[in-house]
């Protein structure tokens, strides 16, 4: 069973609307959680990185939250733009350097 589960698998939103992506994990002992954005045909780009003590971190219109007690994270996209259409991948790092990857959420923003 994958140690990082992302939901939904895909979603379609209208330009200007907000959306929230979910990431639940079972990785332990936890080191940090990262959200990446991957445009089609390109490598992933880091959006946020959070450690155990961080609850919220923002990067422009992207805001990530982390609840280390429930092992849940979310990525909120505010006022979506067409350029936000991409795959968003949640990656959890354990303290022994092992990385666990979610399958990703594909976001499509329509005009």
Number of Cβ atoms within 10 Å of the Cβ of 34: 20
- Residue from 104, 105, 107, 109 in contact with another protein (CB under 8 A): 104
Range in contact with another protein (rule: CB under 8 A) among 18-26, 62-70, 76-84, 102-110: 102-110
Nearer to another protein, 43 or 60 (CB): 43
Number of Cβ atoms within 10 Å of the Cβ of 78: 16
- Cis? peptide before 8, omega within 30° of 0: yes
The closest of 35, 7, 2 to 20, measured between CA atoms, is 7
- The 61-100 contact track toward another protein, x by CB under 8 A, reads ----------------------------x-x-xxxxxxx-
């Amino acid at each position: 069973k994958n140690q990082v589960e992302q939901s939904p698998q895909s979603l379609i939103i209208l330009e200007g609307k907000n959306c929230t992506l979910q990431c639940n994990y079972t990785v332990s002992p936890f080191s940090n959680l990262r959200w990446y954005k991957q445009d089609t045909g390109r490598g992933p780009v880091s959006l946020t990185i959070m450690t155990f003590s961080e609850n919220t971190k923002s990067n422009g219109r992207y805001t990530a939250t982390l609840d280390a007690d429930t092992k849940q994270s979310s990525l909120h996209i505010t006022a979506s733009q067409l350029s936000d259409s991409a795959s968003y991948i949640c990656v959890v790092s354990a303290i022994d350097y092992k990385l666990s990857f979610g399958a990703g959420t594909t976001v499509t923003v329509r005009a």
